[in-house]
Amino acid sequence: MTISETFLPLGQIVATPGALEALARAGQEAKLFLERHASGDWGQVEEHDRAENDYNAAHGFRILSSYRTAAGDSLWIITEADRSSTCLLVPDDYERRMERAIRSPHSKSSYRAIIFISFGCASC
Give me the mean pLDDT over the 52-71 stretch. 95
Structure confidence at residue 7 (pLDDT): 80
**Per residue in 3-37, pLDDT tens?**
445 689 999 999 999 999 999 999 999 999 999 99
pLDDT at 112 over 50: no
Q: What does pLDDT average to over the chain?
A: 81
Give me the mean pLDDT over the 46-72 stretch. 95
* Triad 64, 122, 76: Cα angle to 5°: 15
Q: In angstroms, how far is CA 13 from the centroid of its own chain?
A: 8
d(CA 18, CA 20): 5
Domain borders along the chain are: 7-116
* Triad 18, 3, 26: Cα angle to 5°: 35
Structure confidence at residue 115 (pLDDT): 42
Strand pairing of 85-89 and 63-68?
unpaired
Q: Tell me what percent of the residues of the chain surpass a pLDDT of 70.
A: 71
Structure confidence at residue 61 (pLDDT): 94
Q: Quickly list H helices, the chain.
A: 17-26, 30-38, 47-59, 91-103
Structure confidence at residue 90 (pLDDT): 95
When mean pLDDT is compared across 37-41, 89-93, 95-99, 116-120, the lowest value belongs to 116-120
